[in-house]
Amino acid sequence: MMHADALRQLRPVPLGAFDDAILAIDGQFLDAAWSALRAIIPEICAATATDTGLSRLEALYDLASTGTIEDRRTRVLAAIRASGGLSKAYFIALATEMGYTITISDPVRPFRVGLSRVGVNAIRDVNPTGVADPPRWTPSIDGPFPPLLFTWAVTVTDLGSNASSTLLQTRFEALKPAYTIITWVLS
């Protein structure tokens, strides 16, 4: 009963005698809670989880519960790490892993009030150097500068063994940064 002794040490001596029966009951309760917590801690981390913890994580990430414990841990850890990259290389590698062949390019950005115009250049580049406060941009007149809007054109050149690109589109939309717009080109 390690917690009964700890509780005894927490109570100041001038307050009177200890009720050993109450300390024993409280200590047993804390010992049981501590034992339960020590059993749960390894199940929270994918690297140390057993079947119970892995089943919970596999359900969370929509993964199959097949293979050895190590195989399952590897898949869960990969799913946790795949929370969405910001690079095109990340998404190309993800598509390749899913059996697709794709290319990603930067198309002409969508028409945006204050940035776009009709003529030779489809989009006025107000921030060619990527500075935080682009020249000719006045927040009081133009509003807040939106530097984080990206548009990607994803061209699916080969479906591989997949029947359609629906799974790929769903995965990309779930993982892409919120400020990224994807247009799909199926060839």
Quick check: 124 and 117 in contact, CB under 8 A?
Answer: yes
What CA–CA distance (Å, rounded) separates 82 from 22? 50
pLDDT value, residue 176: 80
What CA–CA distance (Å, rounded) separates 98 from 159? 9
pLDDT digit string (tens) for 54-86? 898 888 888 888 899 999 999 888 888 776 566
- The mean predicted confidence, pLDDT, of the chain is 76
Q: Are strands 150-158 and 101-105 parallel, antiparallel or unpaired?
A: antiparallel
What CA–CA distance (Å, rounded) separates 185 from 154? 6
Cα atoms in the 13 Å half-sphere on the side-chain side of 109: 19
Quick check: 3 and 26 in contact, CB under 8 A?
Answer: yes
Residues forming beta bridges with residue 123, ordered by sequence position: 116
pLDDT digit string (tens) for 142-160? 555 554 456 788 888 888 8
Residue 13's identity, in one-letter code, is: V
Q: What is the mean pLDDT of residues 102-125?
A: 62
Q: Is 117 exposed, middle or buried (0-12, 13-18, 19+ CB in 10 A)?
A: exposed
Quick check: 88 and 152 in contact, CB under 8 A?
Answer: yes
SS3 percent helix, strand, coil of the chain, rounded to 5, is 45, 10, 45
pLDDT value, residue 71: 92
Give the residue, 76 or 133, on which the prediction is more confident.
Answer: 76
Q: How confident is the model at residue 111 (pLDDT cuts 50, 70, 90)?
A: low
